[in-house]
Structure 1
Amino acid sequence: MGNQATRAGHVSAKKADAVTHTGDSANSVNNLSKSSSGTELESNMHMQFLPIESLAKILSHLTNDEERINGITASVFQRYLFPNYPELGEKLFNHLHHAANVSTSYLSANCFKQQAEKFLSVMNDQAVLENYVKMYSDIKGDGNINPDGLKALLNISYNIFMNNSGLSSCIYKGQIIDSAVSSCVNNVKSILQFHGKNALSVSYVSNWIWQNCARVIYGPHRYIIHVLTTAYRNGNALLSKEQPQPHLLIPTPILEQPDSPCFPQVLLPMSYVWLLSSTLPECYLQADNSPKDITHALIAKRMGNVCPRHWTLLYNSSEHGTGANRFLHHVLGYRGPTLLFIRTVSANEDTSRPIYCICSAIEWRESHLYWGDEDTLGIELFPSYRIIEKGAKVLYLNTNIRGYPHGLRFGSNPRSPYINIDESFHSVSIAGAPYPISTLEVWGCGDAKLRERQLEIKKWQVKEAEKQRIVKLSASDWQDHPDRYLLELAGRASYNESNK
């Protein structure tokens, strides 16, 4: 009886607990239904972003004073936040205005705050990229982007990079940007001509940029984040021309030039560095120097590397000489990622000179087998900009192993490699078309310590070679040395007379 009463007590207690939990859950459900949905809760969390709220108040106050409008207009937004990049400011405001779907030509402070927080809250890289392609598309029309819009997007990325790096503009800027635009357009040129269109869809352009230069919008995005989150600190002046403009600490490469001041050959242009840094894997951009702290590492990953910190010249055929032995002497022993630039000579003046880049993420080696890792790739720089192929076992270098092809090759198909440099390193075959080589350049993408180690190894090799040249022999050893008899047979008088 007592046991039964105890069990009954447990059962009644469990029922009471169940009723209590059920009541709590019901109350929580009622509270959720009375409050807001999950999406609204997330938006309420974004509303706590104080920098945007402060910025919206200042912009609204300025608009009211200057234009007597209770909201934020495009002219105030552009003049006070993007005085140095008015086109970028106009594109961003139009994008926020279109996303708000309002009937007025201006945005209310609350609406601007919501759209700005929504724009900054996008964390997916592909979604961020698509937002910028939409910004430079025909928002008011069919929503597609034409070649001029794509060129404008690349131009603003280049201008922000160059202005924040403190370097003068590169004369090859137009060439590399036109190369990227033509590569994107030429892939679907026949389709556009068939339908009589001169524009591309946002999804297609976004996908092409993601495949070939995914980080090209890192510069504009980083700049916009910096402006929207820090401009309020200057008060009502914001970032007008009277105020100091934001300067991003963008790390730039140290491109070492030859010692000769009369060296005529133009080395790696900065515009090529800018676009390559948006394409290459992180190992070429010195990702090893990223912060060890988890929080700062996440911030660094979010902001991204706009440009590599240090690239150093290892080999240039115009300065160091042409040939396989000169190439091997200057490149072997560098235990880091490298970039090999191949500049060709066109058959006639009317055709363009193709420029290619072979990117090796590991140390160069001589072998009768193909080698390389997943970060090894080939890039066509001019006349089109695109990734040819990427993957493991696509590189081949052999200059002395008999029974196997000699030269340097790139491509996963051993029977028909896409790039094939002959054993003399004077000509190259690209997709089966032969070209004379104008110059070959190899740049090391590691830190300074890797270059120092390579030079130390070369110094050690020179010392060992000098030691082997000087052979000290005693008099007794020389008497029976075979070289002595060879000299006597050759008619050296000193040896013949000494024997007589």
Structure 2
Amino acid sequence: MGHAHSQEHKDRHHTSMRHGSVDLLAPPQLVNLMQRRLSGTTEGSNIDKEAFQQYFSNPAQGFGKLLYEYVNRQSQSKYSDAADTTDGSTRVRKEDFVITAKSLLSLSHSKSDQIKFYCNLYSKGEDKLTEEDSRQLIEAAYVMYMASMGFRCEVTETTHAAIVANFATKLSSCKDMNAISYCIQCNCPDLLTGMHDWVVLLLNAEANPDSLQPIEEERLPGSMLSYPLAWLISCSVPATYTVESTMKSAMDKTNNLRWDHWMTLYDSNTKGLSMNRFQHHTLSYKGPTIMLVTCSGGYLFVIAVDQEWRESTQHWGGSGCAILQFAPTFKSLEEGANMMFLNDRSRSLPKGIMVGKNNNSPVLTIDGGLTEVTHTHGMKSGLESIEVIGCGGSDAIACQTKQKEWELRQAHRQRKVPLPGNWDENPDKFLLELGGIKVNHAEQVRDNY
């Protein structure tokens, strides 16, 4: 996403598993603790290669090998025989591990430095990431974020692996490491924060990979969102959409996934693809939402809306609004205020949903019948599904439920009090509709129950 958005992410309050509330071990203490774990003694000047790699590769396979190779590369710049021992085995020097530990622990205060370090780790010291390097980096980042939250999982072909591959392709297309770092900071600034959280827990010997709980479901309950896709979205949108989980973590000292408080408000696959049903389940929700739009051609758009949905003749939305394309390629399309437009009543304006700051050329348009999506410089695709996810937590849901109950009572009340004359032919009704007022709102509410 844009520079302003990435800056907002830099300021995001992120609570990790436990290490934010404890003192980090001093490197000499840390290396002695690590050496006891890796070789059963604090004597000697080396750490065993196999034990080192095994310790740091759980649950992210291959991470320990990359970290070991990084330490050796640093060693070789100082010692010509850094990786050799008299018995022919390969070991890491204690002092070199201390230097690496200090370097890793110092990354906790800078997302930019975290991005550069871990990208360099997966590029094996090269100034560019291959597509395979990028894929392994993203998958490890997801697995290690979940581990930092207490869960063991993996990316499979059935859990939106193609979405991960799309972002990997974007990273591998960057010309050098500076461009890769900028790309991550602008599009997905929290991509590697969970990875670093888990590494710090490992360094402090606070991580217990054997106690991680398996993820039994591939998707969020009642949602099209897989866990990897939910994670990638949570890394890409502003803090507005994830703040409740981090606040809960800070208050009750438990681990909450960034999307724990998300709840599906409307899913066209189960509730029907119609504007009436969309509005019934989405309006009156006083919290931020994320809308997923899938259409023919394999397109998936993610629209982050930081204000309550409303039907209006004017554009609306705060600075935290954004639209991203996750498939068939990953793109951050636009962000900022006054991007949203929803009209279903006014006859003088186009009906449907428009997303984008330019009224004459919006980024994405969904027609009033929810059948067609216009995107990518005028390309038209058939609309396949819409899902709207509420990110405001339990309070927003309770408020919406209360509003719906009030509307239902009003609908029953109007059913008992007939209007004078034929209201459908009354000129006052026509004038009210021209002004954008929903004069039949109560009847529509009643029909939806």
- Return the TM-score normalized by structure 2: 0.76
Matched, 1:215 2:190: yes
Moved more, 74-83 or 439-448: 74-83
Separation in 2, partners of 1:472, 1:411: 43
Match of 1:102 in 2: 78
Which amino acid in 1 is paired with 2:60? Y
Helix, strand or coil at the partner of 2:284: coil
Match of 1:184 in 2: 171
Question: 1:461, CA displacement in angstroms?
Answer: 0.6
Question: 1:82, CA displacement in angstroms?
Answer: 3.6
Match of 2:363 in 1: 418
1:45-444 equivalence runs, <5 A: 50=25, 52-60=27-35, 70-100=45-75, 101-103=77-79, 104-105=82-83, 106-122=91-107, 123-139=109-125, 142-162=126-146, 164-165=150-151, 171-186=158-173, 200-230=175-205, 245=210, 247=212, 255-257=220-222, 267-287=224-244, 290=247, 307-346=258-297, 353-431=298-376, 432-444=378-390
Question: 1:414, CA displacement in angstroms?
Answer: 0.8
CA RMSD of aligned residues (A): 3.3
Question: 1:91, CA displacement in angstroms?
Answer: 1.6
Q: 1:185 to 1:274 in 2, by over 3 A?
A: same
Question: 1:54, CA displacement in angstroms?
Answer: 2.9
Q: 1:305 to 1:214 in 2, by over 3 A?
A: farther
Separation in 1, partners of 2:264, 2:48: 50
Q: Which runs of no fewer than 5 residues in structure 2 stay unpaired?
A: 1-22, 84-90, 423-449
Separation in 1, partners of 2:65, 2:286: 47
Question: 1:206, CA displacement in angstroms?
Answer: 1.4
Which amino acid in 1 is paired with 2:49? A
Q: 1:82 to 1:318 in 2, by over 3 A?
A: closer
Q: Which runs of no fewer than 5 residues in structure 1 stay unpaired?
A: 1-47, 189-199, 232-238, 258-265, 347-352, 474-480, 484-500
Identity %: 24
Q: 1:320 to 1:70 in 2, by over 3 A?
A: same
Q: 1:308 to 1:440 in 2, by over 3 A?
A: same
Moved more, 85-94 or 461-470: 85-94
Higher normalized helix content (fraction of residues): 1
Which amino acid in 2 is paired with 1:77? F
Question: 1:278, CA displacement in angstroms?
Answer: 0.7
The number of residues matched between the two structures is: 382
Q: 1:244 to 1:468 in 2, by over 3 A?
A: closer
Helix, strand or coil at the partner of 1:208: helix
Match of 2:12 in 1: none
Separation in 2, partners of 1:63, 1:254: 37
Separation in 2, partners of 1:462, 1:277: 35
Contact 2:344–2:352 (CA<8 Å) still a contact in 1?
yes
Q: 1:309 to 1:77 in 2, by over 3 A?
A: same
Contact 1:137–1:202 (CA<8 Å) still a contact in 2?
no
Contact 1:184–1:208 (CA<8 Å) still a contact in 2?
yes
Match of 1:445 in 2: 391
Helix, strand or coil at the partner of 1:335: coil
Helix, strand or coil at the partner of 2:28: helix
Deviation readout 1:16-54 (Å, 9 max, x if unpaired) = xxxxxxxxxxxxxxxxxxxxxxxxxxxxxxxx9645323
| Bigger Rg over Cα | 1
Helix, strand or coil at the partner of 1:172: coil
Question: 1:319, CA displacement in angstroms?
Answer: 1.8
- Return the TM-score normalized by structure 1: 0.69
Separation in 2, partners of 1:83, 1:366: 50
Q: 1:169 to 1:59 in 2, by over 3 A?
A: closer
Question: 1:70, CA displacement in angstroms?
Answer: 3.0
Question: 1:378, CA displacement in angstroms?
Answer: 0.2
Match of 2:5 in 1: none
Match of 1:459 in 2: 405
Question: 1:354, CA displacement in angstroms?
Answer: 0.5
Question: 1:309, CA displacement in angstroms?
Answer: 1.8
Separation in 2, partners of 1:304, 1:282: 17
